[in-house]
Amino acid sequence: MHQFALEVFAIGAVEFRKLMRDPTELISRAIQPVLWLAVFGQVLSHARGIETGRAGYLAFMTPGILAQSVLFSAIFYGIAVIWERDLGIVHKLLVSPASRTALVIGKAVSADFRGVAQAILVYIIALVLRVPIRWEIGAIVGVLCIVALGSAIFSTFSLAMACIVKTRERFMGIGQVLTMPLFFASNAIYPLSLMPEWLRRVAKLNPLTYLVDALRGLMVQGEQSVYGLAVDCAVLAVVFAALVLVTVRIYPRLAQ
């Protein structure tokens, strides 16, 4: 057990060092949420085109944009793993006696650093735009934990895709095809109640919906979670566990 934790830590520590050494990716990833909130969000909240809670559209949308940037920064994680495969790094990891579950979870933890950085950024944007944020320590810690879980889910999903497609070109194609539907078939920028029935059904199967729902309940004043935090967390945890189980089985394919 202790060795398992050490292995997860070792993989995560490597990623953390790399990120600290070269934060350009963090900076370039900051542009999208700024645009969505400061431009799209501002305009739409003046237009009052979408009926949401009392807190206004910007407050409704902020957790959705956080979830979106968690999704987008985690979903291309598999590219890095394909790169590691081409270099033979994956081969060396798989020849080591380290637990393969630890390797997969270590990768998920690595993605968490990016997710948490996105959360801090969205908090700062929200502060500037005067979004009614819940500045309570419990709520903020909750948001960070949910963000970590969301990053872990989408990065593990991405890793699983990488294990299946194995090449960068195919991965880019699939990544592009998947992210937009995941985003639009969710409650990130409009409530489920405004969706046509078929789309609502799809959205209810989308883990992003539960991520957004949990964040919405914890992050802003005057908004609440539709399903309840406990349900959201349970769904997310089950999805993550299932993804880890599948990915551990197909991860060795990367080295074949």
Partner 1 sequence: MANPYAIDTRRLTRRFDDIVAVDGVELRVASGAIFGLLGGNGAGKTTMVKMLTTLLAPTSGSATVAGFDIVSAPHEVRRRIGYVPQMLSADGALTGYENLLLSARLYAVPRAELATRIADALGFMGLNEARNRLVKTYSGGMVRRLELAQSMLHRPAVLFLDEPTIGLDPVARHLVWQRLRDLNARFGMTILLTTHDMEEADHLCGDLAILHAGKLAAHGSPTTLKAALSSRATLDDVFAHYSGTMDQSGRLRDTDQTRRAAQRLE
Q: Nearer to partner 1 by C-beta: 96 or 167?
A: 96
CB of 120 to partner 1, least distance (A): 23
Per the rule left: phi > 0, alpha: psi between -120 and 50, beta: everything else, 166 is left
DSSP 50: S
Q: What is the DSSP string of 100-112?
A: HHHHHHHHHHHHH
Does residue number 91 form part of the binding site for partner 1 (CB under 8 A)?
yes
CB of 83 to partner 1, least distance (A): 10
Residue 21 or 130: the one with the smaller Cβ distance to partner 1 is: 21
Please tell me whether residue 256 binds partner 1 under the rule CB under 8 A. Answer: yes
Q: Answer yes or no whether residue 192 interacts with partner 1 by CB under 8 A.
A: no
Which token pair is 254? 């990367």
Q: What count of other Cβ atoms lies within 10 Å of the Cβ of residue 197?
A: 6
- The tokens describing 96, both together, are 């080591």
Identify the CA nearest to 216 among candidates 150, 139, 158. 139
- Of 78 and 207, which CB lies nearer to partner 1 in the complex structure? 78
Name the residue nearer to partner 1 (CB basis): 77 or 210. Answer: 77
Residues 25, 51, 86, 136: which binds partner 1 (CB under 8 A)? 86
Considering only 9-17, 31-39, 138-146, 181-189, which stretch makes contact with partner 1 by CB under 8 A? 9-17
Question: Which of 20, 89, 141, 245 is the binder for partner 1 (CB under 8 A)?
Answer: 89
Q: Considering only residues 10 through 69, tell me which ones interact with partner 1, judged by CB under 8 A.
A: 10-11, 14, 17-18, 21-22
Which of the ranges 94-102, 193-201, 206-214, 224-232 carries the binding residues for partner 1, by CB under 8 A?
Answer: 94-102
220: β partners: 133
Nearer to partner 1, 95 or 177 (CB): 95
DSSP at 220: B
CA distances (Å), 169 to each of 88, 124, 134, 166, in order? 18, 35, 42, 9
Do 201 and 53 meet the contact criterion of CB atoms below 8 Å apart?
no
Answer yes or no whether residue 196 interacts with partner 1 by CB under 8 A.
no
Q: Where are the alpha helices (DSSP H) in 166-184?
A: 168-184
Is the Cβ of residue 91 or residue 200 nearer to partner 1 in the bound state?
91
**The length of the chain, given as a count of residues:** 256
Which residues of the chain form contacts with partner 1 (CB under 8 A)?
A: 3, 6-7, 9-11, 14, 17-18, 21-22, 86-89, 91-98, 252, 255-256
